[in-house]
Amino acid sequence: MTFVAASGDWTNVKIPTKATTTYTEGMIVANDGTNDVPVTAQTQQYVRGIVIEAKASSSATTSIHLQVPRGTECTFYGDMTSGETLDPANVGAAFDFAADGLTVSTNTSYKPLTLVKYISSTKGEFKLNLTTGIEN
């Protein structure tokens, strides 16, 4: 249950990490103003990209690599969080990231994602929205 780039032009970027933070491969991260950190239920703004290099919270590693979209046409595959499902009628609808940063939630508080292709009830192809979603 992780995110994987699907289409568009993506680039790899090396970023600094926070010392006691775990980064899981396939996780979505956002910039909190100091470093890139895993998204949470409340921090879904300033989304940066997909982690492609894991780091344990106890690791001395100070940087990792992300896959970062180079344009608004970039899409990625994502799984739904446990117990939540998609429907073909959801194409074009906005969603949130789940609190774990590894899955998509049907919550729509922040709306950072739009479903562009229904794959199954538990998997879809998504794109990042241009705005934070709060004003939508």
Residue by residue, pLDDT tens for the chain (136 residues) are 689 999 999 999 999 888 889 999 999 998 888 888 888 877 788 889 999 999 998 888 889 999 999 998 999 999 999 999 999 999 999 999 998 889 999 998 889 999 999 999 999 999 999 764 444 4
Q: Is 67 in contact with 75 (CB distance < 8 Å)?
A: no
Residues 126 and 115: their CA atoms lie apart, in Å, by: 5
- 79: which strand partners? 123
| pLDDT for position 36 | 84
Residues 78 and 8: their CA atoms lie apart, in Å, by: 15
| pLDDT for position 135 | 44
Quick check: helix, strand or coil at residue 12? strand
| pLDDT for position 79 | 96
Q: Which two tokens mark 61?
A: 């590693």
Residues 48 and 14: their CA atoms lie apart, in Å, by: 11
Predicted TM-score (pTM) of this structure: 0.89
Instruction: Report which DSSP code applies to 3.
Output: -
Query: Distance between alpha carbon 53 and the CA centroid of its chain, in Å?
Result: 15
| pLDDT for position 1 | 66
Quick check: helix, strand or coil at residue 79? strand
Give the residue from 50, 45, 14, 27 showing the smallest Cα distance to 101: 27
| pLDDT for position 65 | 95
